[in-house]
Amino acid sequence: MKIVSISTSKKKGTVKKQINEVELIENHGISGDAHAGDWHRQVSFLSSESIEKTREQGLDVTFGDFAENIATEGIDWKEIPIGTKVRLGEGAEVEITQIGKECHNKCAIYYKAGDCIMPKEGIFAKVLKGGTIRCGDVITMMAS
């Protein structure tokens, strides 16, 4: 289980740009990302397997296109219960707060990709302990 992509954006509802490393800030989220703030959806996760599945269905998508912050390998996020604590890299920690989301209108992601899997397959977390995370970092499930 590892991080395969990290992406951020300055505005909500837009495709995110890939970067190699980022700073997680306790009780805030990813430094410089539009979704950071004092709420329960500070960081979003999506499995690379879900992204690959949409590619196989003919959509021209890549990491960041679904506005996910972190794409992972080896985790079926839909099966991880709310309240689960997750260690990212050497010391950053998040807590799963929400599975899926309701989309009230079609955003730029929907129009670019032709569909959006975040409402069904994305999950959200709040940052419990800050730290630097990088592509390739190991992900460890902790007790909830």
Where do the structural domains in the chain lie, given as residue ranges?
2-141
Which amino acid belongs to residue 111? Y
pLDDT band at 108 (very low <50, low <70, confident <90, very high): low
pLDDT tens by residue, 72-103: 999 999 889 999 999 999 999 999 999 876 65
Q: Which of 34, 36, 21 is nearest to 89 (CA)?
A: 21
Quick one: what percent of the chain has pLDDT higher than 90? 64
pLDDT band at 61 (very low <50, low <70, confident <90, very high): confident
Can you name the CATH fold of 2-141?
Answer: M1 Pyruvate Kinase; Domain 3 (2.40.33)
Q: What are the Cα distances from residue 130, in Å, to 38, 53, 95, 99, 144?
A: 14, 31, 12, 22, 18
Q: Cα 24 vs. chain centroid, distance in angstroms?
A: 12
pLDDT band at 121 (very low <50, low <70, confident <90, very high): confident
> Can you tell me the mean pLDDT for 55-78?
88
Q: Which of 81, 77, 108 is nearest to 3 (CA)?
A: 77
Rounded distance between C-alpha atoms, residue 1 and residue 12, angstroms: 27
Q: What is the pTM for the complete model shown?
A: 0.88
